[in-house]
Amino acid sequence: MARDTIDITPVGGVAELAATLEAGCKPPSDFRIGTEHEKFGFNVADLSPIPYAGERGVEAVLSGMERLLGWERIDDNGLIIGLADPVGGGAISIEPGGQFELSGAPLENLHQTCRETNCHLAQVRQVAEPLGIGFLGLGMTPTWRREDVPAMPKSRYEIMTRYMPKVGTLGLDMMYRTSTIQVNLDFADEADMRKKMRVGLALQPVATAIFANSPFTDGKPNGFRSFRAEIWKDTDNDRSGGLPIAFDEGFGFEAYVEWAIDVPMYFVKRGSAYHDVTGTTFRQFMNGALKGVIPDPEPTLGDWNNHLSTLFPDVRLKKYLEMRGADGGPWRRICALPALWVGLLYDPGILDQAWQMVRDWTDGERAALRDAVPRGGLETPFRGTTVLEIAKEMAALSREGLKRRARINDGGQDERVHLAAVEETLASGLSPADVMLRRYHGEWKGDLARAFADYAY
């Protein structure tokens, strides 16, 4: 999220909060694709993480991007922490460890998504290369220790950094050493949201296996294909995971709200000040728990929207759905991740077939799959087959969905062209992590400096 919101409309009850989610409903003709991707900035000279301040840091890159793009500056205590495109709706922000994120504009097709990605990466290089800065596309920093990664001066991150060790052992690793690609997709109505949420949650571990790209920690193999996904299992389970309630009969906007308001908050923003309210749930906030604790203690829609942005289930509901299971990766995968989900979820017939794939999976089976995939990847066994075979079926459905959309680029290709990186992975049976591990034990000869050369944008 690029900017914490300030909407002083008072909050009513659960029904009113549910209405804020329902407001995202739109006709399929208005469905859009929003792609987010993060990357690690590093000093080309010594492969160390870049600091925030200084001539060769995050602040310098953001300021350079501001001059290049003319986007609106986002500040926190007078320091630049992001940029917002006042025309297209995209934004640039920084994650806790300096991960540089593009939150893409809502676009009509995947060809536009790929153009946006290519333009952004070219602009970042234009600013960063003269500073001796490169950017790495992996799911986790392969060599940096947690204590090596500088913290960014963003008030919400200071609160989260203090809180994370209280609720899990790996939350700081999530904040400071991981990166992701995700896609944000629309829904037509509550029933459409429900089906997309359920299919997305069930198949998110399969997407994790396809995009697994974090097999190294502290300069050596960590025993996982996606250690980033493993980290999420012990970050903060009050607000993350497979969201089993989504499979309850009658699940909808109000049920999501009932879950969300019982999750402890991180902060409440008043003016430019962030107040640490960790340990207080939004329901308690609605019932007056912060009277005498913060200024203007009545909750607002701005507080609600900020709280929604601090929930981390594998599929997150706002006025759209966020698919959150994939590791960060090279530029072709930035296009491939939204291609996989758009093909699967945006054609009603294909969505129905995807639901038939997963509808009889039990809560226990989904949880076991989510637990096993970080280590097992595509080889993970499931129901007498493997995740690889499920992934092939998932990709085949997606391919047909993209064909049916028939969105053609200037070269006469439809959106299936953007699924190529996924199809190559499934044809070989090797995830990006498997390929990297082969290189590490082979041509790299154990030298992870090669990762910065081979996987930089």
Among candidates 348, 346, 354, 343, which has minimal Cα distance to 401? 343
Q: In this model, does residue 3 exceed pLDDT 60?
A: no
What is the model's pTM? 0.97
Task: Give the separation between CA 146 and CA 140, rounded to whole angstroms.
Answer: 11
Q: Which helix (H) or strand (E) holds 40?
A: strand 33-43
Which residues, 6+ apart, have CB-to-CB distance to 181 below 8 Å?
A: 35, 36, 37, 38, 211, 326, 327, 328, 329, 333, 334, 337
What are residue 215's phi and psi, to 5 degrees? Answer: -90, 5
Q: In this model, does residue 239 exceed pLDDT 80?
A: yes
Q: In this model, does residue 278 exceed pLDDT 70?
A: yes
* CB of 431 closer than 8 Å to CB of 437: no
Determine what percent of the chain is predicted with pLDDT higher than 90.
97
Residue 375, pLDDT score: 98
Q: In this model, does residue 389 exceed pLDDT 50?
A: yes
Residue 221, judged by CB atoms within 10 A of its CB (0-12, 13-18, 19+), counts as middle
Amino acid in the structure at residue 51 = P
**Mean pLDDT across the stretch 227-249?**
97
Give the other-Cβ count within 10 Å of 129's Cβ: 11
**Mean pLDDT across the stretch 248-267?**
98
Residue 418, pLDDT score: 98
Residue 8, pLDDT score: 84
Amino acid in the structure at residue 167 = V
* CB of 11 closer than 8 Å to CB of 301: yes
Residue in the block written with tokens 């690029």: 2
Per-residue CA distances from 363 to 79, 200, 201, 359 (Å): 45, 14, 11, 11
Map residue 217 onto helix, strand or coil.
strand
14-454: CATH number = 3.30.590.20
3-state secondary structure 62-111: HHHHHHHHCCEEEEECCEEEEEECCCCCCEEEECCCCCEEEECCCECCHH
Per-residue CA distances from 269 to 128, 133, 290, 300 (Å): 32, 33, 13, 10
**Mean pLDDT across the stretch 45-62?**
98
* CB of 205 closer than 8 Å to CB of 323: no
Residue 227, judged by CB atoms within 10 A of its CB (0-12, 13-18, 19+), counts as buried
Give the other-Cβ count within 10 Å of 165's Cβ: 11
Mean pLDDT of the chain, nearest integer: 97
Residue in the block written with tokens 């096993």: 372
Residue 306, pLDDT score: 96
Task: Give the separation between CA 289 and CA 312, rounded to whole angstroms.
Answer: 24
Task: Give the separation between CA 320 and CA 188, rounded to whole angstroms.
Answer: 10
* CB of 303 closer than 8 Å to CB of 280: no
Residue 2, pLDDT score: 47
Q: In this model, does residue 175 exceed pLDDT 80?
A: yes
Residue 230, judged by CB atoms within 10 A of its CB (0-12, 13-18, 19+), counts as buried
**Mean pLDDT across the stretch 246-265?**
98
Residue 192 bridge partners (DSSP): none
User: Confidence class of residue 5 from pLDDT cuts 50, 70 and 90?
Assistant: low
- Please count the residues of the chain: 457
Among candidates 421, 413, 402, 416, which has minimal Cα distance to 332? 421
Residue 1, pLDDT score: 45
Residue in the block written with tokens 């790929």: 114
Query: What b/e string do you get for 386-400 counting C-beta neighbours within 10 Å, with b at 16 or more?
Result: bbbebbbbbbebbbb
Residue 12, pLDDT score: 87
Q: List own/partner pairs for 190-193 with CB under 8 A and 24 or more apart.
A: 190/22, 190/25, 190/252, 190/253, 193/25, 193/252, 193/253, 193/317, 193/321
Residue 269, pLDDT score: 95
| Tens-digit pLDDT profile for residues 179-208 | 999 999 999 999 999 999 999 999 999 999
Determine what percent of the chain is predicted with pLDDT higher than 70.
99
